[in-house]
Amino acid sequence: MTDHQTVSIIMIEDDEGHARLIEKNIRRAGILNEIQHFTDGTSALEYLFNADKGPAQGGPALVLLDLNLPDMGGTDILAKIKGSDGPLKRTPVVVLTTTDDKVEIQRCYDLGCNVYITKPVNYESFAQAIRQLGLFLSVIQVPDSEGHG
Amino acid sequence: MYTRLVPSFGVSEGRMGRFLVTCMAIGFFALIAAGVAAAWSTAQNEHHTREVNHTYEVELAIDRARIAIEQSETARRGYLLTSEPVYLGTYRTAMAAVPKAVGTVATLTEDNPRQQGNVITMRRLVGDLSAQRERTIAAAEAGDRAGALTQFEQETSIRRMRAVRSLADTMVREERRLLAVRDAAQQASVQVFYVTLAVAGLLLVLVAFITLVTVLRYTRELATSRDALRDFADTLEDLVDERTADLSRANEEIQRFAYIVSHDLRSPLVNVMGFTAELEAATGAITELIDRAEEKAPEIVSEDARLAAREDLPEAIRFIRTSTQKMDRLINAILKLSRQGRRVISAEPLDIAVLIDGIGASLTQQIEHRGATLTVEQPLPNLFSDRVAVEQIFSNLIENAVKYLDPARPGRIVVRGKREGKRIHYEIEDNGRGIAPSDHARVFDLFRRSGTQDQPGEGIGLAHVRALAYRLGGVIDVSSELGRGATFRLTLPATYTEAKTDTRGR
């Protein structure tokens, strides 16, 4: 991870319990980056596109996205992120959801999702998966915040 | 709409039959009448001919008598003039013939009082004539020729002869008159015959015509009802298609619903399981603390706290775990089911016998373990349908049959099929433990099972099978007797066609 500005993890997840479990397990994996949690699509998009130092302004970020949101489909958010111009477009998006429908998975990758993970229902596997995701996040290269774009 | 078709099938065979029999009876009656008329006419004709003959016989007899009288007269005159014995001989012969000839006439005209009267007159005249003649002949024989001639000249024989002739004519005329009367009668009888014949003929033609028309109409009606029946069959086929489309649409809806529900149930379940795990971890920490506290300062550990940490919490967590695990399995089952329903169907020609052989091979171990046999009754009709779906249907059914065999007797599983129109009926029959009739509908429901729960399973196999059957445009049902075995009847369209759900709105 880059030093001059820490990568913030933007978690868009409507289920408070899931959010808490994800956060706990990410922390257990030793990831200490800031985690911004949004429970609905509208406020998440507001942050992504308009916040000071937000991803649209070049703040390095990584999006954890749930597909089942109360106000809009996760795929809509994905489409907006990947369809935008500028740094936000290059922000890695990890779809973390319960949906394991083949069509949905394909659609997400078509829209430009970087990783698609199905939440295992079994908690041990779930915790395991999130911890591994944390390890993965610790080595992932996020586009430089001092973006060229 | 099919109820409307039914009454038009009514070609009343009973009325029709009675009518035809009546027509035939009339026809036969006409024929008999014609025959009777012919016989009667022939008899009449014969009778007439006899009478005509009779008339001629009478006439002939009258003529003979007249000729004999004339001849005897001529011979007498010859003898009186010449005294030649030749004439005498001729006279005697002729005279001898006269009574016989008159007798013949009398016999022939016995039935006619008028002619009898004439005959009596004739006899009287002939008697007078012969008396006169005998006197002259006797005189001539005695040699008194002159006397005889005088006598001849004085006698009234010419007048009598004339009377005889006129009487004979009268008699002949009488006969002729009778003949005319008989001719008229004959004519009348012939006319009656012809009229009868004409009426009978007309009747026959009429009956034949009516019968022909009726039979033609009947045939046409039969053809119409046959067409109606065919239409009805087609309508029925359409009706079946419609119902099947309804079923598959309902099925689709349920599966969509199941998908959404199961999906949404998963999220809270992740929480329950996740936080249960967290709770377990926390319990571990607390138990450790209690252990340490008990060791170092037992007085601060209350009995309640110890019980809670060592027994109540682990027990509660254990129950939560098993329940959530069960729920997870159920949700997964629903998801699997709904996912199957959302699969894209791709139809291809399927050799069902080969397919079942494959299933049999994969179940060889279980089948052999239970000492059972799987028989495929040939010929087994083939399908043009989705391979995966059909395979899953048969494999679930056969697997169930193997699973629920009765250990008390050697298992026997038979698969057979027959084609009926556009649909194919398959039967999977076993002699296993069977299903109680009250459970026949229930076994196809999700998570419902029947009988002793001694086999593993969640109760989704048959629900799955039914969903697949609906999906392929088919149906499935079961007939079974508890303890005797079960027969699952699967009906699938021979050729899979996409259900036309979009063409028919609600």
ipTM of the complex: 0.73
Reference A89, options A102, A98, A97, A80; nearest CA is A80
Q: Which two tokens stand for residue B57?
A: 């016989």
Residues B268 and B245: their CA atoms lie apart, in Å, by 35
Mean pLDDT of B306-311: 86
Q: Which of A18, A106, A123 to mutate to test the interface with B (most CBs of B within 10 A)?
A: A123
The pTM (predicted TM-score) of the whole model is 0.51
pLDDT at position A107 is 92
Name the residue with higher pLDDT: B332 or B389: B389
pLDDT at B5 over 60: no
Contact by Cβ (8 Å): A44, A38 = yes
SS (H, E, C) chain A: CCCCCCCEEEEECCCHHHHHHHHHHHHHCCCCCCEEEECCHHHHHHHHHHCCCCHHHCCCEEEEECCECCCCEHHHHHHHHHHCCCHHHHCCEEEEECCCCHHHHHHHHHHCCCEEEECCCCHHHHHHHHHHHHHHHHHCCCCCCCCCC
Express each pLDDT in A55-100 by its tens digit.
777 778 889 998 888 788 888 899 999 988 878 888 889 998 887 7
Reference B65, options B91, B99, B89; nearest CA is B99
Q: What is residue B343's three-state secondary structure?
A: coil
Beta-carbon separation of A123 and B267 below 8 A? no
pLDDT at position B397 is 92
- Cβ neighbours of B266 in A, within 8 Å: 98, 119, 121
Residues B131 and B418: their CA atoms lie apart, in Å, by 121
pLDDT at position B144 is 80
Residues A15 and A21: their CA atoms lie apart, in Å, by 10
pLDDT at position B12 is 63
- Cβ neighbours of B339 in A, within 8 Å: 101
- Report the percent of chain B where pLDDT is more than 90: 10
- CB count, 10 Å around CB of A4? 8
pLDDT at position B499 is 59
Express each pLDDT in A102-127 by its tens digit.
888 999 999 999 889 888 777 778 78
Chain A segment 87-146 residues within 8 A of B by beta carbon are 98-99, 101, 119, 121-124, 126-127
Residues B333 and B196: their CA atoms lie apart, in Å, by 93
pLDDT at position B7 is 44
Q: What is residue B500's three-state secondary structure?
A: coil
pLDDT at position B2 is 42
Q: How confident is the model at residue B84 (pLDDT cuts 50, 70, 90)?
A: confident
Q: How confident is the model at residue B503 (pLDDT cuts 50, 70, 90)?
A: very low
User: Of B47-56, B68-77, B424-433, B453-462, where does mean pLDDT reach its minimum?
Assistant: B453-462
Mean pLDDT of B296-309: 86
Express each pLDDT in B124-173 by its tens digit.
888 888 888 888 888 888 878 788 888 877 776 677 788 888 888 888 88
Chain A's closest residue to B339, CA to CA, is A101
Residues A104 and B411: their CA atoms lie apart, in Å, by 45
Express each pLDDT in B249-265 by its tens digit.
887 787 778 778 877 78
Mean pLDDT of chain B: 84
Mean pLDDT of B197-221: 88
Reference B150, options B129, B135, B131; nearest CA is B135
pLDDT at position B224 is 92
Contact by Cβ (8 Å): B432, B411 = yes
Beta-carbon separation of A121 and B278 below 8 A? no
- Report the percent of chain B where pLDDT is more than 70: 95
- Separation of CA B332 from chain center: 58
Handedness of CA A122, A124, A130, A136 (dihedral sign): negative
Q: Of B274, B331, B332, which is closest to A17 when you measure between CB atoms? A: B274
Q: How confident is the model at residue B490 (pLDDT cuts 50, 70, 90)?
A: very high
Q: How confident is the model at residue B57 (pLDDT cuts 50, 70, 90)?
A: confident
Reference B413, options B356, B362, B339; nearest CA is B356
Residues B372 and B381: their CA atoms lie apart, in Å, by 24
User: Of A71-85, B309-323, B338-352, where does mean pLDDT reach its minimum?
Assistant: B338-352
Beta-carbon separation of B266 and A21 below 8 A? no
Q: Which two tokens stand for residue B447?
A: 């998570």
pLDDT at position B44 is 85
Contacts of residue B500, Cβ cutoff 8 Å, sequence gap at least 6: B245
Handedness of CA B284, B288, B293, B299 (dihedral sign): positive
Beta-carbon separation of A99 and B271 below 8 A? no
